[in-house]
A and B are shown apart, each in its own frame.
Chain A
């Protein structure tokens, strides 16, 4: 690739938080018309580097050149006006406003103080056409899927003559088809000469869309390479900083042992369980030591199934049996009393209490089970928390850190730890590896297998079919809020499941 002048050059960027050096002396450059992957383990400093660029954080040292001029933005708004836009992982748009309004909110074209609605609508329509999206600009945003909403966020970002577009883990909540759509748009923008910075933990996506890779480790720059010249194994080695033995471990499939120890009666069985408008009545049985995978597209009812089993939503029909006896699961409390745990996919809204510390977040569910009057002794808390900080490699390994200040992947691990310490009989994991780096992901997968070997029943939900197939003994497929089929996982391949998802019938 011939090297034109870099549109963005960051040199010697340093950022320190109390007790944590998040970035030390990091260089990063970005060329027009390229997709550049920023890689690294959880907590490596990727999000911090982006926030340093867009002015969310004041940096402690270093220089940022945008088109050759030194800049120091005071915040994302100013960065956006200068042509540096960010699309965050969590979509921060308003579902109850129209698509057009969402694109222009906060910077509506005005004349004499009055908002020019016609103009907004026309420009929104133009933008959507430019991205080749078939969306009605006047429809409410909330009526579209997450993926489409993400596209609207992109439209919003590129509207202001963007030169640099930043995606911080945009794909972690998208399924394969939606990722394709996103990549198509990315390639198109790249062809228009926009420079794109892309953070992801999916290696195959890196090879699919990016031209160049920069790797960070522990807040330091490891190196910058052209994607085409970097073997996947070398990329992983750069990220985790270890050589072969670890890599071999990663490759070793944590294939679960056949569920030999299945009891005759399931631990938890749902019969005709359903909730109007959420998921049609379904039957599902999960045995001791069994991992059941739920496959299906986003919005197919995967999460709804989990929420019903956990009592997070009330069922309108059917019943749940635990060890053969029908029980009333009215709310999460009663579900927990029957040994059911549910690790939600929305860690920020439904999972963590961000103002509390790592320790408090981890012991929260266990403490709730015991009730307020029986506090877990401090010593015991520390033992439990230390154990899981080590087991899941939560960094920084500081139990008194406020969870808000952890990196995204580490927050996810804290949530997982919360449920593991309750030692449930049925563990429901909804997207447990979302936003988790390659190393930790393999570790979590191994953990699931060993939990099942130890007799725990696991319901495993993931948008990544490979992961579901690798871990599950049994697979249930959802489509349009119906559980269409359930099958043992004896050599089922991805295509086969995809076909069921697409056709809605067991092939």
Chain B
């Protein structure tokens, strides 16, 4: 019996990723209709090239942000400030590099990266303090930094777009290492680190416990405050790296627009990946699939040639469909014989059904 039970269980967990993966594949196939060599990957000038590579490469910042968001949401929180952190970190790094005599100095770039990520940690600590220390609702606590952070980013860039010309910095978001885009490697590394950190230690279970039942966790002796702070710090750190990737890729920092609305895409990626907004169980693998799905969707919108003014609507439509298909209740309604509307009619209908076939 135990064997069959665990069989069922693994069938269930597999099914959790079944729909997002299927839809991702369908999206990719749809692209194939419009771009025949969509699946082609080649090495050009020592670099990997291809549409699939582009999806992962451009999706890397979203994967980073969604990764941190997954852990925050697992504790029944939410972090709306990630977009602002993306902007702040990109702005600070670019400001520092633009102030260097030699923008190509590796030491200068490393300092810039260090400063930016250090600031990200501080910002995460601030969020964590508001949520766990002050006891503010996560949505309000992070809204503060979401709004104030944009202002801070504009202060750093002085309202301008800072443009830089630094080869080492360009590596982060736009460069290649061993033929592979560096940002992909970064994202992979971060995902691997997060998985190891949560699943090889007890951190994952404790996070799920705090998100599943905060009071019970406290009474079980879990230091939920420390865990919540850690999670917000990690999330801000991930957003910081995403900010570096984005600004590096375009060699400039735009306090207004960098990372704009990325928090919403990230939340969406997490939910599509099967982590509930109500906290508890989380799936990092699911989040990665969710982020790729969203990025693939953006790519598809361009290749299919959806008119620009309707792209947002189109995106909303697809996302709605994805969410509906994922909902077991909805699938049951549409695909299966429905429960009968009323009890007495029920019995009658039942006899009918049995007679009919």
For chain A, the count of residues having a C-beta within 8 Å of the partner chain is 50
**Bound: A72/B347 CA distance, A:** 7
**Option from A73, A349, A398, A418 in Cβ contact (under 8 Å) with B343:** A73
Q: Per-residue 0/1 for B181-216: is the Cβ within 8 Å of any A Cβ (1 yes, 0 no)?
A: 000000000000000000011110110110011011
**Are the CB atoms of A375 and B200 closer together than 8 Å?**
yes
State whether the Cβ of B356 lies closer than 8 Å to any Cβ in chain A: no
State whether the Cβ of B268 lies closer than 8 Å to any Cβ in chain A: no
State whether the Cβ of A26 lies closer than 8 Å to any Cβ in chain B: no
- What is the minimal beta-carbon distance from A223 to any residue of chain B, in angstroms? 26
State whether the Cβ of B220 lies closer than 8 Å to any Cβ in chain A: yes
Using A367-B206, A372-B201, A373-B201 as known contacts, say yes or no to A18 and B344 having CB atoms under 8 A apart: no
A-facing residues in B16-44 (Cβ within 8 Å) = none
**Are the CB atoms of B202 and A353 closer together than 8 Å?**
no
By a CB distance below 8 angstroms, the chain B residues around A401 are 5
- What is the minimal beta-carbon distance from A120 to any residue of chain B, in angstroms? 27
State whether the Cβ of A90 lies closer than 8 Å to any Cβ in chain B: no
**Are the CB atoms of B343 and A72 closer together than 8 Å?**
yes
Find the A residue at minimum CB distance from B348.
A70
Q: Per-residue 0/1 for A301-339: is the Cβ within 8 Å of any B Cβ (1 yes, 0 no)?
A: 000000000101000000000000000000111011000
**Option from B1, B221, B347 in Cβ contact (under 8 Å) with A70:** B347
By a CB distance below 8 angstroms, the chain B residues around A396 are 1, 5
**Are the CB atoms of A82 and B343 closer together than 8 Å?**
yes
Q: Per-residue 0/1 for A18-59: is the Cβ within 8 Å of any B Cβ (1 yes, 0 no)?
A: 111000000000000000000000000000000000010010
By a CB distance below 8 angstroms, the chain B residues around A310 are 219
Using A71-B343, A356-B212 as known contacts, say yes or no to A351 and B219 having CB atoms under 8 A apart: yes
**Bound: A375/B221 CA distance, A:** 15
**Bound: A58/B217 CA distance, A:** 33
**Option from B9, B203, B213, B223 in Cβ contact (under 8 Å) with A353:** B213
State whether the Cβ of B352 lies closer than 8 Å to any Cβ in chain A: no
State whether the Cβ of B342 lies closer than 8 Å to any Cβ in chain A: yes
State whether the Cβ of A344 lies closer than 8 Å to any Cβ in chain B: yes
- What is the minimal beta-carbon distance from B344 to any residue of chain A, in angstroms? 7
**Are the CB atoms of A19 and B219 closer together than 8 Å?**
no
**Are the CB atoms of B339 and A364 closer together than 8 Å?**
no
**Bound: A367/B341 CA distance, A:** 48
- What is the minimal beta-carbon distance from A231 to any residue of chain B, in angstroms? 34
**Are the CB atoms of A74 and B343 closer together than 8 Å?**
yes
A-facing residues in B229-267 (Cβ within 8 Å) = none
Find the B residue at minimum CB distance from A343.
B219
- What is the minimal beta-carbon distance from A59 to any residue of chain B, in angstroms? 11
State whether the Cβ of B331 lies closer than 8 Å to any Cβ in chain A: no
**Bound: A360/B217 CA distance, A:** 12
Find the B residue at minimum CB distance from A370.
B202
State whether the Cβ of B106 lies closer than 8 Å to any Cβ in chain A: no
By a CB distance below 8 angstroms, the chain A residues around B208 are 353, 355-356, 360
By a CB distance below 8 angstroms, the chain B residues around A372 are 201-203, 206, 227
**Bound: A353/B216 CA distance, A:** 7
Find the B residue at minimum CB distance from A351.
B216
Using A69-B347, A355-B280 as known contacts, say yes or no to A360 and B205 having CB atoms under 8 A apart: yes
**Are the CB atoms of B280 and A367 closer together than 8 Å?**
no
**Are the CB atoms of B344 and A364 closer together than 8 Å?**
no
By a CB distance below 8 angstroms, the chain B residues around A370 are 202
Chain B interface mostly: helix
State whether the Cβ of A352 lies closer than 8 Å to any Cβ in chain B: yes
By a CB distance below 8 angstroms, the chain A residues around B2 are 397-398
State whether the Cβ of A280 lies closer than 8 Å to any Cβ in chain B: no
**Bound: A356/B205 CA distance, A:** 8
- What is the minimal beta-carbon distance from A484 to any residue of chain B, in angstroms? 28
**Are the CB atoms of B202 and A78 closer together than 8 Å?**
no
State whether the Cβ of A369 lies closer than 8 Å to any Cβ in chain B: yes
**Are the CB atoms of B344 and A74 closer together than 8 Å?**
no
**Option from A18, A344, A360, A397 in Cβ contact (under 8 Å) with B219:** A344
By a CB distance below 8 angstroms, the chain B residues around A82 are 343
Using A332-B221, A365-B221, A376-B202 as known contacts, say yes or no to A353 and B209 having CB atoms under 8 A apart: yes
- What is the minimal beta-carbon distance from A400 to any residue of chain B, in angstroms? 6
Using A351-B216, A401-B5 as known contacts, say yes or no to A72 and B346 having CB atoms under 8 A apart: yes
**Are the CB atoms of A350 and B200 closer together than 8 Å?**
no
Find the A residue at minimum CB distance from B217.
A353
State whether the Cβ of A159 lies closer than 8 Å to any Cβ in chain B: no
**Are the CB atoms of A350 and B216 closer together than 8 Å?**
yes
Find the B residue at minimum CB distance from A65.
B347
State whether the Cβ of B281 lies closer than 8 Å to any Cβ in chain A: yes
**Are the CB atoms of A350 and B221 closer together than 8 Å?**
no
State whether the Cβ of A242 lies closer than 8 Å to any Cβ in chain B: no
**Bound: A64/B4 CA distance, A:** 30
By a CB distance below 8 angstroms, the chain A residues around B6 are 400
Chain B residues at the A interface, C-beta cutoff of 8 Å: 1-2, 4-6, 8-9, 12, 200-203, 205-206, 208-209, 212-213, 215-223, 227, 280-281, 339-344, 346-347, 350
Q: Which 8 A-B pairs have the closest CB atoms?
A: A19-B5, A70-B347, A368-B221, A353-B212, A18-B8, A375-B202, A72-B346, A372-B203
Q: Given known contacts A19-B8, A353-B213, what 5 new A-B pairs fall within 8 Å (CB)? A: A20-B5, A353-B209, A372-B201, A372-B227, A400-B6
- Interchain residue pairs with CB less than 8 A apart (26): A18-B5, A18-B8, A71-B344, A71-B347, A72-B346, A78-B342, A312-B219, A331-B218, A332-B218, A332-B219, A333-B221, A333-B223, A342-B219, A349-B213, A349-B216, A351-B216, A353-B216, A354-B212, A356-B205, A367-B206, A372-B201, A372-B202, A375-B200, A375-B201, A376-B202, A396-B5
